[in-house]
Structure 1
Amino acid sequence: MLTIDSQAVHIWILDLARVIAQPALLERYHPLLSEEEATRLGRFAFPKLQQHYLATRALVRTCLSRYADVAPHAWRFAQQQNGKPYLVDSPIPLSFNLSHAGDRAVLAVTRDNAVGIDIEQLSRKRDWLGIAEHYFHSSEVDALNALPEAQQHDYFFRLWTLKEAYLKARGTGISTGLDKAAFHLDRGQVRAQFAPELAVEPSEWHFFNYQLGDEYSLSLACHSPASSTPPQLQFYQSWPLATDQQSELPTDILSNRLSEPAAGGLPA
């Protein structure tokens, strides 16, 4: 059993391609689903989408069971009015958030605090400069335009994932306005500015951004009303219900693939 408190956030990383390559393992995930999840699974038109959904539900359920004496299939979920999921009748006050892109899924787990996580695949095709000019804060657009062209693409996705993580932690979504929280990345630090109408106490919010290999940008937002000290992050690799030799492992094996020009150093 893993212990976790309000001063820590655990981030679980799942290689979806690795799971999909194991059909027998995917079959073991079906009994974990609730009736509602099983119904939703059947609505996906394409096998790959079904497989990703099945694997991410297994990720959430098995990881949560590492913190409490609850069987993976027994967790119950509900949604806030804005759609953000939360636990029902959990024996401990866990908060979690899930994101996936390409062949990676990430799950953030903490205790007592609100948390949001977002991952984006850097090769994703989109009019990133047009999006920034139309939706981002003017100071962020200025920072983008001041960079060499070769760096602008990655910087956009750092900003985008930070915004998504923040809005997911708030539970409001992008309807709040992507320009209401402006992020500045400088010398390994993430600074945030908030519009007055958000009524935010900046010292209660903590942000992190990492590159996951060369393919993904990963951001985390954590709201810690009881502490102004940034939480300690611990990264794990997950392969739900695999054998002991190939199950969840602390990701010192991934640390060489995680660069952090926009956040503090990786936790030991």
Structure 2
Amino acid sequence: MERGREPLRQILAAYLHRPPSEVRLIAGPHGRPALAGTLAGAIDFNWSHSAGHALVALARGIAPGIDLECDRPLRALALARRYFTADEAAWLARQPEARQTAAFLDLWTAKEAVLKALGRGLGFGLDRLTITCEATGPRLRRLEGDDPDAWQLHALQLGEGLHATLAWRGGPRRIRGLRPGDRGAAEASFPDTGHA
């Protein structure tokens, strides 16, 4: 959690209308970041960074999970066959070769966002949950020990070469995208897929 801790602290401080010096961060048993001290429980959050880009998810009443990945060369099929479910690896193998890396990263960010919302790391096992990538976005089909229909997953459209998913357990919520430096924190809309 050290990398990016100060910018994260500044974002949380601004959102909570507190000086950054009052924002103390701790890591939970599986590494999930949380507020400590007098601000413990004031807001739940999660963050992700990749190749100079970062996302922070802030929420009240739910534990969000967010993951961000940037396009990069990787052996998508080999990784999927090793870490994903057989159905997910088979789906990826059916994708056009030119699309396989992007499809892998879409699936990866969805799986990792769920694990982060659970407060678990990759050690939980990527094969303990099954996600399908549909025209309306990612959908959780199976989660060992939980009801997959209780989850919301939203693919975030951030631009070419960026793959991101926001996940939480609970009902639908409004999502606002805020960019630093915009006067009044301009909003970007992310479509409500209408399903878990």
Give the TM interval when normalised to the shorter protein.
0.7 to 0.9
Q: Please, what is the CA RMSD of the aligned residues?
A: 2.4
Of structures 1 and 2, the larger Rg is shown by 1
Structure 2 contact 48–67 (Cα < 8 Å) conserved: yes
> Counterpart of 2:168?
222
> Counterpart of 2:29?
81
Determine the C-alpha separation between the residues in 1 that align with 2:114 and 2:75.
Answer: 22
Relative contact order higher in (CA < 8 Å, ≥ 6 apart)? 1
Match for 2:193: what amino acid?
G
Determine the C-alpha separation between the residues in 1 that align with 2:28 and 2:18.
Answer: 22
Which of residues 53, 58, 64 in structure 2 aligns to 1:115?
64
1:60 aligns with 2:8: yes
Gaps of 5+ in 1: 1-36, 41-52, 240-245
Gaps of 5+ in 2: none
Structure 2 contact 140–148 (Cα < 8 Å) conserved: yes
Shift of 1:247: 5.4
Give the TM-score normalised by the residue count of structure 2.
0.87
> Counterpart of 2:193?
264
Structure 2 contact 107–138 (Cα < 8 Å) conserved: no
Residue-pair matches, total: 193
- Percent same amino acid among aligned pairs? 30
Determine the C-alpha separation between the residues in 1 that align with 2:32 and 2:108.
Answer: 19
Shift of 1:65: 2.6
Structure 2 contact 140–149 (Cα < 8 Å) conserved: no
Shift of 1:91: 7.0
Structure 2 contact 76–100 (Cα < 8 Å) conserved: no
For 2:14, what is the secondary structure of its paired residue? coil
> Counterpart of 1:136?
84
Structure 1 contact 59–238 (Cα < 8 Å) conserved: no
1:179 aligns with 2:179: no
Determine the C-alpha separation between the residues in 1 that align with 2:53 and 2:160.
Answer: 13
Determine the C-alpha separation between the residues in 1 that align with 2:109 and 2:10.
Answer: 25
Deviates more, 1:127-136 or 1:66-75: 66-75
For 2:178, what is the secondary structure of its paired residue? strand
Give the TM-score normalised by the residue count of structure 1.
0.65
Deviations 1:129-187 (A, max 9, x none): 10001111111112112222222221110001111111111121111111111111112
Structure 1 contact 100–119 (Cα < 8 Å) conserved: yes
Shift of 1:121: 0.7
Deviations 1:210-234 (A, max 9, x none): 342112101111122xxxx322110
Deviations 1:179-200 (A, max 9, x none): 11111111213221224xx311
Shift of 1:94: 0.6
Which of residues 90, 103, 109 in structure 2 aligns to 1:161?
109
